[in-house]
């Protein structure tokens, strides 16, 4: 539903309110200022004059904007400090308060002209009241509630940023890759079915109606598929019982009607998977998971170079990668493959390009599959940094990293037959849950 009002300020600003089944947006200043909230009235994002503000469930705030460096657009990022957050939330609240006041003054003839039922206008008013009740103190309280339910959610693939994470496992069962510091704060743990059910109960209570904003169920943490098959199948049975999952094979009209009847629903289950421990699972094991709505697994391939995988202390080699992906694909499960760009520096540059292209060309990929290119973000505390210094591995310059990515993508696009999987780039620094 679209509702228009005018603010009673000296600018007489025109406001457009979009009320959707999963969120509400308030747009001012010809869409140069847009505020977005979920069904519980919690802030999601704010767009203002080229700046994007995001809030995480842990109540962290990130602002991003584009700038020009040497003739090329570059994304800049900054975490908001406490004072910045206070000022930002106060300004947001003041804007929403003005919109709420304008709605209260909305005349019946305006609603009739816009073909807006009075009941719908009242629903929007109630929604905005919920937004106004979400103060800084409430956000801080909710972040504490979130961390009672979850271990910090370290990373997700870009197409899963709006998934509902369910932590059947916590941490990474391997956790020795030199380039990864995502799960160093926790020991690997597989939940019992009782723990899993309680986890889901707490998640449902925490999210409430904002579950509508979530698209899929992401079974976490780092490689939940490593869970013994009997326990893993039990997890999937629980997920299918606790959540409405879109049935496969429906025609468009039937699917539309089904979704309207199930406002909180999910388009299947997805998860991370590694390519060495998963060799314990057969094609039949994966088929069992597919029958329980496992739609896609995401695999950190990183590179097609065995020598670089060894340098990264990553378990498994390219033969294991090929075998694991072949088994998954035979079970009709889609894959999302993650390739690191810039990792291994100058020493491995040429081999990384050649062997990665060679590996990806050899895989049985389809148009349902994804290949993500993620630029390696190095930090001083990584084991990778110490090892690279010891072995005198020089990092690529930004230009060299860009060239590496371009060469890999170009060679994949000119493959014959062409690789049907979708190629995409993402930056881990953009992730917030």
Backbone angles phi, psi at 170, to 5 degrees: -120, 135
Q: Which CATH fold would you assign to the domain 150-430?
A: TIM Barrel (3.20.20)
- Which ranges in the chain are annotated with CATH 3.20.20.70? 150-430
Q: Which of 44, 68, 48, 65 is nearest to 56 (CA)?
A: 44
22-68 tens-digit pLDDT: 999 999 988 899 999 999 999 999 999 999 999 999 999 999 999 98
152-162 tens-digit pLDDT: 999 999 999 99
Q: What tokens appear for 339 in the block?
A: 């390739």
Beta pairing partners, 63: 53, 78
Q: Which of 247, 363, 241, 348 is nearest to 301 (CA)?
A: 363
pTM: 0.95
194-243 tens-digit pLDDT: 999 999 999 999 999 999 999 999 999 999 999 999 999 999 999 999 99
Do the Cβ atoms of 271 and 222 come closer than 8 Å? no
Q: What does the buried/exposed string (b/e) look like for 58-91 if buried means 16 or more CB atoms within 10 Å of the residue's CB?
A: bbebbbbeeeeeeeeeeeeeeebeeeebeebbee
72-93 tens-digit pLDDT: 788 999 999 999 999 999 999 9
The pLDDT of residue 10: 59
Give yes or no for residue 71 having a pLDDT over 80.
no
The pLDDT of residue 9: 67
Question: 387 in the Ramachandran plot: left (φ > 0), alpha (ψ -120 to 50) or beta?
Answer: alpha
Average pLDDT over residues 354-365: 97
279-322 tens-digit pLDDT: 899 999 999 999 999 999 999 999 999 999 999 999 999 999 99
């Amino acid at each position: 539903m679209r509702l228009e009002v005018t603010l009673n300020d000296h600018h007489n600003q025109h406001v457009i309110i979009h009320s959707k089944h999963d969120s509400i947006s308030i747009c001012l200043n010809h869409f140069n200022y847009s505020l977005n909230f979920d069904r519980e009235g919690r802030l999601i994002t704010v767009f203002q004059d080229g700046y994007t503000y995001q809030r995480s469930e842990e109540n962290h705030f990130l602002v991003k904007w584009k700038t020009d460096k040497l003739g090329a657009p570059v994304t800049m990022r900054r975490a908001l400090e406490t004072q910045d957050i206070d000022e930002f939330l106060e300004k947001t609240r003041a804007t929403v308060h003005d919109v709420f006041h304008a709605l209260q003054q909305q005349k019946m003839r305006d609603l009739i002209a816009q073909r807006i039922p009075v009941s719908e206008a009242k629903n929007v008013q109630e929604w905005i009241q919920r937004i106004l009740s979400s103060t800084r103190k409430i956000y801080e309280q909710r972040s504490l509630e979130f961390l009672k339910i979850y271990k910090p959610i370290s990373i997700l693939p870009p197409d899963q940023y709006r998934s509902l994470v369910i932590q059947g496992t916590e941490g990474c069962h391997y956790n020795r890759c030199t380039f990864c510091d995502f799960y160093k704060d926790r020991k690997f743990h597989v939940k019992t079915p009782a723990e899993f059910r309680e986890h889901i109960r707490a998640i449902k209570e925490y999210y409430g109606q904002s579950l509508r904003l979530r698209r899929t169920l992401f079974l976490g943490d780092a490689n939940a598929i490593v869970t013994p098959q009997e326990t893993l199948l039990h997890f999937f049975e629980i997920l299918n019982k606790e959540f409405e999952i879109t049935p496969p094979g429906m025609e468009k009209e039937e699917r539309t009607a089904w979704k309207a009847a199930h406002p909180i629903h999910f388009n299947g289950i997805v998860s991370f998977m590694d390519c060495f421990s998963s060799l314990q699972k057969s094609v039949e094991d994966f088929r069992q998971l597919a029958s329980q709505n496992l739609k896609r697994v995401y695999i950190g391939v990183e590179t097609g170079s065995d020598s670089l995988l060894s340098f990264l202390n990553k378990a498994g080699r390219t033969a294991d990668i090929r075998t694991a992906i072949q088994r998954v694909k035979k079970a009709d499960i889609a894959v999302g493959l993650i390739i690191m760009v810039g990792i291994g520096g100058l020493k491995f540059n040429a081999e990384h390009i050649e062997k990665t292209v060679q590996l990806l060309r050899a895989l049985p990929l389809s148009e349902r599959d994804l290949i993500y290119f993620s630029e390696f973000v190095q930090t001083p505390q990584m084991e990778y940094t110490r090892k690279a210094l010891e072995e005198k591995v020089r990092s690529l310059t930004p230009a060299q990293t860009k060239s590496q990515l371009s060469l890999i993508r170009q060679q994949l696009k000119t493959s014959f037959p062409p690789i049907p999987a979708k190629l995409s780039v993402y930056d881990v620094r953009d992730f917030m849950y």
